[in-house]
Structures are given as structure tokens and as C-alpha cells.
């Protein structure tokens, strides 16, 4: 192993201007990474405040009104500022061109613009905190959102602006994948992460504008009383829900698909075995993107849509289980008889598999009409959502972060502390959220600032779990930051990966590859190639 | 136009291997962007369809309040502007810079005429109190909740109007770049993309006009 190469994207060119005006996808990805990690911390602090409040039923921390703002902020920050941009805009931005053997994304200036648009949107959301944060929940349901005195307009305007950032990222990736693959890289020799980002891009482009116009209508409703969502004026509040979920249901696949893409990479690399069912995984990403547009009605089983519509939506919701199941079984089959190494990225990958499977199966439970009527608006939904989003997407994000960390910085973190952090995270996560399945099944409603005494033991257990979870993240921040200064040089290919980013130096040069890479083998050809750990 | 030091045309960005790849990437990106525009309006078209289905008689009565003749003139004006936009691109392909400038100016003028007529229509509606939602004060219409029609009318034409203004901004920029000889038959991608955008703005109006003004 040699040291850190002197010529790399971090060190050249120099100066703060070269960062703020950069068009290098790696630097933009890194700027996104810092921004989303900051908001992950902010949203995490809100989450811990919620759990402190719910430690006892005495409303010890905040009043009911403030609690409403607290969970709204937790939701809005985590959804719009962290999880939607998380994998695509940070890790995706960093590795997509390298996976394709390209020098950059198709539109570097648009890429930088999307970061600044993200920052502006984030400022609106932050501004709303100081002017009376919205207390509507992250879904901004009418008619309450048009009546509350809190700053719904600043919040929704922020979300509207963030939508453009998301659209530009998706658009950029789709064009990059179509037009900038290295000579010899066919659609079916692309790494599966690219397929996942492609499917994500399709949803970002097709769904986000609908959220945009919905929020514009909501803002106009508040400002001018246009009456579209106001039943007193002949409008329909359920129409708002249709519009909102037409975006926001596909949006949960914007959140999970890139995570599934990362798992498809790590599972093969750390099993040292060719991915099982490449085409099935690739097409199931597109399948999920396709089905995601036809299931929004399952958020409105109790909102007064017709029984027939509810039955159709319920049936279509079950269909999502098929492509998701295809992926899970293919990942398991990849591990079968593989030579599995339990490095940190693989530990997070396994955590993803376990937690996402629980989250996915409980999603099927919620998709069933009769069960849904009982579970609707309870902690069961909260637990399901966190199992898919945090157990799924966040674990996949962490798998990806640990997997590409040596490529990003050229340095290795401590495997020992990584295991400690992962263990705390896994225990804390399950204590926090598995408990909430039980709470929900016993009838604890979501979004309440207090509860009956009978729920106290479970709520207390869940809160203690959340502190352990928080401790896991503190450990992680510790060893990752330490590695930046004292980490051992990683070399080009610490994991023995076969995708193209591992053929260049760590950190890579500004143009990624000193010469255009030649495709000599597939991304997962472990049966043919032994990687050169140079 | 040719950067001798870099050994490739000045407009070619470093991460593309040739001009053709760059142009086709731009085109795909633009089409995807236009798709998002369609979906943005799609929400309003959905709202229109739903409220029309719920209140067919009110929509019928309310649509008579719109001036078909002004709407028709504006349709012709916008279609003409699309023609001049296309001719501007054609002129650049034929290396005729002067003509390109003239056609772009003509496009801008048509767009301005469109906005002036739209202003006159809006002004008339404001005077009559045919305004969206709670500001609706007009009394000459039967049927329940006629303000919904005007809410939808103002939102659809208003959002379209914003796109016309945005388009004028981009066309002005293209005019500036054309005057500075930045386009040639070998490279005129930004001009072509502007044309695509402008045709979409035109096309949306071609849907708005019959839906709002014509069908009863």
C-alpha cells in the first residue's frame, strides 16, 4: 500500500472558491454529503426530543402545541432535507460517473445549481422554525394546513424549492446513464447501482412536479382562499390527499431504490461472488418505479374514497411485494456459498436485509384493507415506516458510506469501532421501533404528545432504545472523523471490488480516470477475475 | 470557435468526447425537463377535469364569461411566435445571423402582444369581480360555487403566463448570444433547446384555449 496520491480531487484545485464554484461531481457529492449529514443530525435531535417527551405521559419536555411542531419538523427535515437527497445526491453523485467510466455527470453546472437550490430550500425550512414552525405533520393535510397560524407557507415553499433540486439530480443522472457510459459499457454491464439510480430518476422526474403544483395550490389557498381544497367553497380536501400522495408515495421509492442499488453492490463484493439474477434485480427496480405510481390510494383507505377504489389500491399495493421480494431472494442467493467477509459495509448490508424485510412484510400487512382500518394512524404505521426508511434506506446509506469512504477520502476507518457502532445501532433501532409495532397493535395513536398509563412501559423501552441508537451514531461520527486524520491509506481497491471506481486512485484525480477506462470484465465477474488489491 | 490549445471546439465541455454526444445529451435533458413541465400543468389539468365533472352546468355558464375572440387572437399570436422561433433556428442553420436576430425579435414581440391581451382580459375580470375563491364578488352567474371556475382559470392561465415571461427572458438571452456570434451551423444547441421550450409553452396554451374558452 502506498500513501495518499498527491494529485487528487480534494487537493487540486485549491481554495474555497474552487469548492463553491466547482463543477466536479465528486466535490458536489461531498458538499451534499456534509449538508445532508448536518440535517440528519438536526432531524435526529428532534427525534430524540420526541422520545424524551414520550418517556413519561406527563408532557415533561414540551406542551402539546410545541410537540406538534416537533414531529412536523422531524418529519419534514428527515424526509425533504435528508432522506430524499441522501443516497442519490451524495453517494450517487460521487460514484455514478466513476461506475460508468465517465469524467463527470452530463450537466455539471446543473449539478452545482441543484446543490445551491437545495441550500435555499433548506434555508426556507430553517427560517420557518424561527417564525413558528408548521404543526401540520410533514404531509401538510388540508383543511388544517390552511387554517393553522404557524408558518406553513415558508415550509411548503422550502419543500417546493427542494423539489427542483431533486428533479435536476434525477434528470442529470438519467442523461448521464444514457449518454456517458464508457466505450464498451452496455446497459447490462452497468453496475446495478446505476439501474437503481435510473429508476429513481424516472420517479423524481415524473412525480416531483406534481408535488410542486400541489404545494403551489396549497400556498394559494392560504394566501388567496382559492377554495380548491376548501369544502365550504365547493372544494375537496381529499383531492389534496390524492395530489400529495401521487407524489409522496412514489417518493418513498425515491428514498428506497437507491438503497437497494447499494445493497446490490456490497452484497456481491463482500460475498466475493457474482450477483445472482442481475437482470431480475435491474428490471425489478424499474418494476418498482412503475408500480409506485399506482398505489397512492392506500394512504386514503379511511379518508372516504370509494370501496372499489380502496380494493383496487389494496390489490395493487400487494404487487409492490413482488419486485421487492425478487430483490431480497436474489441477494440471499448471491450470499449462498459465497465467501462472506464481515467488513463494516457488509454488516450494514445484513442489517438492511433483516430490517427491510420486516419493514416490507409489515407494509403488506398495512396494505390489507381490513387490517389497515384498525392500524391506520397508529404507531404500527410509524414503526413500519421507520423499518423501511431507517432500517432500509439509512442502513443502505451507511453501507454505501462505509463502502465508498476509502474511495472518497483515501483512508480507512477502524473496523473494530465500526462494529461497535453497528451493534449499538442495530440494538437501539430494534428496541426503539419494534416496540412501536406492539404499541400500534395495542392502539397507541401516532402524533399524540401524551398517552394512557398502560403504554408507559413500552414507550419507556422505546425511548431508551432511541438513546442507544443515538449513541451508535455518536460512535460512528467519532471513528469516521478520526479516520480523516489518522486513518491508514486505503490504496486503490481495499475491498477487492470489480467496478470501475476501484481501478482509479483513492481519492480519485479530478477527471476520475487518467485515461478512459477499458471494460475488460463485468462488474461482478468474481468467477473469472481476482481483483487486484493495489 | 476552435480552441487550438485544447484541440477541440470551444463549446465542447471537457467531459464529452465529441460535439454530437454533447448535443444529444442536451436534447435528452431538455425533453426530460419538458416532461416535468407537462406534469406540473398535469396537476392543474386534473383539478380542471375533476371540478368540471362535478359541476358541469356551472362550468358551462362560467365559460361564457370568457372572451372567445381575445382567446382566439392570442392562440394565433402564439402559434405565429412558434413559427418565428422555428424560423430563427432555421436561419442559424443557414448561417444567417441577421435574419436570426429579426425572427427572435419577432418572437419576443408576439409574446409581448400575447401578454398585453392577457392583461386586458385579466383587467376586465378584475373589474367585474370575477376573481378566484374568496375574492369573487360577481353576481351575474347562476350555479353553485362559480368562483371555482375562475380559480382554475386564473391558476392555469397565470402559470402559463409565468412560463411566457420566463420564455421571453430566455429568448432575450439567446438574442444577446446570437448578436455576439456565439452560434453557428455547427453549434446552436441552446437556441434549439429554447425553441423546444417555447413550443411547449405554445402547446399548453393550445390545450388551455379550448378547455377554458370553447367547450361548453
Gap between the Cα atoms of B113 and B110, Å rounded: 5
What is the percent of chain B where pLDDT is above 90?
A: 82
Asked if residues A44 and A470 have their Cβ atoms less than 8 Å apart, the reply is yes
Neighbours of A77 (CB within 10 A): 25
**B14: chain A residues, CB-CB within 8 Å:** 103-104, 511
Q: What is the three-class DSSP state of B9?
A: strand
pLDDT band of residue A1 (cuts 50, 70, 90) is very low
Find the domain containing A265 and state its range. Answer: 16-503
State the DSSP H helix or E strand holding residue A161, giving kind and residue range, or none if neither.
helix A152-179
Which CA distances in Å does A332 have to A130, A284, A328, A364? 48, 15, 6, 20
How many beta-carbon pairs below 8 A join chains A and B?
Answer: 115
Residue A364 lies in a domain: yes
Grid coordinates representing A275? 450477483
Q: What is the pLDDT of residue A534?
A: 47
- Provide the domain count of chain A: 1
**Closest alpha carbon within chain A to B31:** A171
pLDDT digits 0-9 by tens, A24-40:
999 999 999 999 999 99
CATH class of the domain whose range is B31-214:
mainly alpha
ipTM, 2 dp: 0.92
What is the pLDDT, as a whole number, of residue B17? 85
Contact assessment for residue A134 and residue A152, using Cβ atoms and an 8 Å cutoff: yes
Please report the pLDDT score of residue B143 as a whole number: 79
Closest C-alpha among A287, A194, A256 to residue A392: A256
The string over A145-162, giving b where at least 16 C-beta atoms fall within 10 Å of a residue's C-beta and e elsewhere, is bbebebbbbbbbbbbbbb
How confident is residue A533, by pLDDT bands cut at 50, 70 and 90?
A: low
pLDDT at residue A365 is higher than 90? yes
CB atoms within 10 A of CB A504: 21
Instruction: Output the CA–CA distances (angstroms, integers) from residue A7 to A94, A491, A505, A514, B112, in the order listed.
Output: 17, 14, 9, 11, 53
For the full predicted model, state whether its pTM sits above 0.80.
yes
The stretch A269-275 carries a mean pLDDT of 95
Closest by Cβ to A175, choosing from B28, B42, B152: B28
Residue B172 touches partner A, C-beta closer than 8 Å: no
CB B8 within 8 A of CB B186: no
Contact A171/B36, CB-based, under 8 Å? yes
From start to end of A257-401, where are the E strands?
none
Can you say how many angstroms the Cα of residue A209 is from the centroid of all Cα atoms in its chain? 19
Q: Bigger pLDDT: B165 or B1? A: B165
Taking residues A380-405, report their average pLDDT. 97
User: Can you read off the three cell numbers belonging to residue A11?
Assistant: 487537493
- pLDDT at site B15: 86
A179–B21 CB contact, under 8 Å: yes
B98-126 per-position pLDDT tens digit: 999 999 999 999 999 999 999 999 999 99
pLDDT at B210 over 90: yes
Question: What are the tens digits of pLDDT across the range A107-164?
Answer: 999 999 999 999 999 999 999 999 999 999 999 999 999 999 999 999 999 999 999 9
Q: Give A471's pLDDT tier (boundaries 50, 70, 90).
A: very high
In a domain, A531, yes or no: no
- Per residue in A27-85, pLDDT tens? 999 999 999 999 999 999 999 999 999 999 999 899 999 999 999 999 999 999 999 99
* Cβ atoms A453, A476 nearer than 8 A: no
Predicted confidence (pLDDT) per residue in B125-170, tens digit = 999 999 888 888 888 887 788 899 999 999 999 999 999 999 999 9
Residues 80-139 of B with CB under 8 A from A: 132-135
Distances (CA, A) of A375 to A195, A372, A504, B134: 35, 5, 51, 38
Contacts of A225 in chain B (CB under 8 A): 132-135
User: Between the CA of residue A219 and those of A227, A244, A380, what are the distances in Å?
Assistant: 11, 14, 31
Q: Is residue A361 part of a domain?
A: yes
pLDDT over 70 for what percent of chain B?
96
Pick the closest to residue A96 from A163, A33, A169, A202 (CA basis).
A169
A209/B43 Cβ within 8 A: yes
Backbone angles phi, psi at B187, to 5 degrees: -150, 110
The residues spanned by each domain of chain B are: 31-214
| Cβ pair B133:A227 closer than 8 A | yes
pLDDT of residue A487: 93
d(CA B207, CA A209): 19
Q: Look up the CATH number of the domain holding residue A347.
A: 1.20.210.10
Between CA B159 and CA B201 the distance in angstroms is 10
pLDDT of residue B6: 55
CA pair distance A311, A367, nearest whole angstrom: 10
> Do A101 and A513 meet the contact criterion of CB atoms below 8 Å apart?
yes
d(CA B191, CA B103): 12
Which residue from B118, B104, B84 is spatially nearest to B208, judged by alpha carbons? B118
Nearest to A295 by CA among A306, A310, A274, A275: A310
User: Taking 90 as the threshold, does the pLDDT of residue B69 lie above it?
Assistant: yes
Q: What is the mean pLDDT of chain A?
A: 94
Residue A527 has what pLDDT? 85
Residue A532: which pLDDT band, with cuts at 50, 70 and 90? low
Q: Is residue A9 part of a domain?
A: no
Does B43 reach chain A within 8 Å, measured CB to CB?
yes
> Does A36 fall in a domain?
yes
For B133, which of A107, A225, A239 is closest by C-beta distance? A225
In this complex, is the C-beta atom of B50 within 8 Å of any C-beta atom belonging to chain A?
A: yes
Closest CA to A114 of A165, A51, A151, A72: A165
Residue B63: band (very low, low, confident or very high) from pLDDT cuts 50, 70, 90: very high
Which residues face A411 on adjacent strands?
A489
Q: Using a CB-CB distance cutoff of 8 angstroms, which residues of chain A are in contact with residue B44?
A: 213
Alpha-carbon distance of B132 to A432, in angstroms, equals 48
B19 touches chain A (CB under 8 A): no
Residue A304 has pLDDT above 90, yes or no: no
For residue A298, pLDDT over 70 is answered with yes
Say whether pLDDT at B2 is over 60: no
Residue A382 lies in a domain: yes
At residue B1 the predicted structure's pLDDT band, cuts being 50, 70 and 90, is very low
d(CA A107, CA A110): 5
Q: Flag whether pLDDT at A2 surpasses 70.
A: no
B60 pLDDT higher than 50? yes
Q: Which residue, chain included where needed, has cell 442529470?
A: A172
Amino acid at each position: 500500500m502506498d500513501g495518499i496520491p498527491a494529485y487528487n480531487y480534494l487537493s487540486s484545485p485549491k481554495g474555497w472558491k474552487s469548492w463553491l464554484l466547482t463543477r466536479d461531481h465528486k466535490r458536489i457529492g461531498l458538499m451534499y454529503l456534509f449538508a445532508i449529514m448536518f440535517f440528519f443530525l438536526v432531524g435526529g435531535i428532534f427525534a430524540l426530543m420526541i422520545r424524551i417527551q414520550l418517556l413519561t405521559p406527563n408532557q415533561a419536555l414540551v406542551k402539546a402545541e410545541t410537540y406538534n411542531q416537533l414531529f412536523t419538523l422531524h418529519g419534514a427535515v428527515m424526509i425533504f432535507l435528508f432522506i430524499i437527497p441522501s443516497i442519490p445526491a451524495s453517494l450517487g453523485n460521487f460514484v455514478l460517473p466513476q461506475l460508468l467510466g465517465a469524467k463527470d455527470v452530463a450537466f455539471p453546472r446543473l449539478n452545482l445549481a441543484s446543490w445551491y437550490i437545495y441550500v435555499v430550500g433548506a434555508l426556507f425550512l430553517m427560517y420557518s422554525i424561527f417564525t413558528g414552525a408548521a404543526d401540520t405533520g410533514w404531509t401538510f393535510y388540508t383543511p388544517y394546513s390552511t387554517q393553522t397560524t404557524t408558518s406553513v407557507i415558508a415550509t411548503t415553499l422550502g419543500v417546493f424549492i427542494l423539489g427542483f433540486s431533486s428533479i435536476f439530480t434525477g434528470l442529470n443522472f438519467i442523461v448521464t446513464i444514457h449518454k456517458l457510459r464508457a466505450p464498451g459499457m452496455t446497459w447490462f454491464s452497468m453496475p446495478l447501482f446505476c439501474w437503481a439510480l435510473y429508476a429513481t430518476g424516472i420517479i423524481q422526474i415524473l412525480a416531483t412536479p406534481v408535488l410542486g403544483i400541489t404545494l403551489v395550490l396549497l400556498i394559494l389557498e392560504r394566501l388567496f382562499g382559492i377554495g380548491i381544497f376548501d369544502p365550504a367553497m365547493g372544494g375537496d380536501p381529499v383531492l389534496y390527499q390524492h395530489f400529495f400522495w401521487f407524489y409522496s408515495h412514489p417518493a418513498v421509492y425515491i428514498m428506497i431504490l437507491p438503497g437497494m442499488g447499494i445493497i446490490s453492490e456490497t452484497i456481491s463484493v463482500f460475498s466475493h461472488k457474482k450477483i445472482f439474477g442481475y437482470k431480475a434485480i435491474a428490471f425489478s427496480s424499474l418494476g418498482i418505479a412503475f408500480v409506485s405510481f399506482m398505489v397512492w390510494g392506500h394512504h386514503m383507505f379511511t379518508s372516504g374514497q370509494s370501496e372499489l377504489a380502496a380494493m383496487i389500491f389494496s390489490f395493487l399495493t400487494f404487487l409492490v411485494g413482488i419486485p421487492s421480494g425478487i430483490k431480497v431472494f436474489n441477494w440471499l442467493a448471491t450470499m449462498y456459498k459465497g465467501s462472506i467477509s464481515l467488513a463494516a459495509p457488509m454488516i450494514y448490508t445484513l442489517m438492511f436485509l433483516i430490517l427491510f424485510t420486516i419493514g416490507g412484510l409489515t407494509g403488506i400487512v398495512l396494505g390489507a384493507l381490513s387490517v389497515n382500518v384498525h392500524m391506520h394512524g397508529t404507531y404500527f404505521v410509524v414503526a413500519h415506516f421507520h423499518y423501511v426508511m431507517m432500517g432500509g434506506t439509512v442502513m443502505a446509506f451507511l453501507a454505501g458510506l462505509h463502502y465508498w469512504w476509502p474511495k472518497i477520502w483515501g483512508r480507512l476507518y477502524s473496523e473494530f469501532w465500526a462494529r461497535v457502532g453497528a451493534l449499538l445501532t442495530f440494538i437501539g433501532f430494534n428496541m426503539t421501533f419494534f416496540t412501536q409495532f406492539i404499541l400500534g397493535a395495542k392502539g397507541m395513536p401516532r402524533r399524540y404528545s401524551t398517552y394512557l398509563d398502560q403504554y408507559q412501559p413500552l414507550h419507556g423501552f422505546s425511548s431508551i432504545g432511541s438513546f442507544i441508537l443515538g449513541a451508535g451514531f455518536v460512535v460512528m461520527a467519532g471513528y469516521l472523523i478520526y479516520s480523516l486524520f489518522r486513518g491508514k491509506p486505503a490504496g486503490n481497491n481495499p475491498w477487492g471490488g470489480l467496478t470501475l471506481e476501484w481501478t482509479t486512485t483513492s481519492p480519485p484525480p479530478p477527471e476520475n480516470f487518467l485515461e478512459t477506462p477499458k471494460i475488460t470484465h463485468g462488474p461482478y465477474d468474481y468467477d473469472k477475475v481476482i481483483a487486484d488489491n493495489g | 470557435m476552435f480552441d487550438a490549445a485544447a484541440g477541440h471546439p470551444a463549446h465542447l465541455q471537457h467531459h464529452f468526447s465529441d460535439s454530437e454526444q454533447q448535443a444529444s445529451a442536451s436534447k435528452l435533458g431538455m425533453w426530460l425537463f419538458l416532461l416535468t413541465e407537462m406534469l406540473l400543468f398535469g396537476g392543474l389539468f386534473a383539478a380542471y377535469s375533476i371540478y368540471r365533472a362535478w359541476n358541469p352546468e356551472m362550468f358551462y355558464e362560467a365559460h361564457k364569461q370568457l372572451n372567445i375572440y381575445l382567446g382566439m387572437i392570442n392562440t394565433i399570436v402564439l402559434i405565429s411566435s412558434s413559427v418565428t422561433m422555428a424560423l430563427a433556428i432555421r436561419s442559424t442553420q443557414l448561417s444567417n445571423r441577421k435574419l436570426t436576430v429579426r425572427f427572435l425579435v419577432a418572437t419576443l414581440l408576439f409574446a409581448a402582444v400575447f401578454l398585453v391581451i392577457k392583461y386586458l382580459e385579466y383587467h376586465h375580470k378584475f373589474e367585474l369581480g370575477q376573481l378566484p375563491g374568496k375574492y369573487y364578488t360577481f353576481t351575474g352567474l347562476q350555479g353553485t360555487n362559480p368562483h371555482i371556475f375562475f380559480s382554475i382559470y386564473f391558476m392555469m392561465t397565470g402559470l402559463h403566463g409565468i412560463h411566457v415571461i420566463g420564455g421571453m427572458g430566455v429568448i432575450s438571452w439567446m438574442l444577446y448570444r446570437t448578436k455576439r456570434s456565439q452560434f453557428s451551423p455547427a453549434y446552436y444547441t441552446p437556441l434549439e433547446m429554447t425553441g423546444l421550450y417555447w413550443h411547449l409553452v405554445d402547446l399548453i396554451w393550445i390545450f388551455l384555449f379550448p378547455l377554458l374558452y370553447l367547450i361548453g
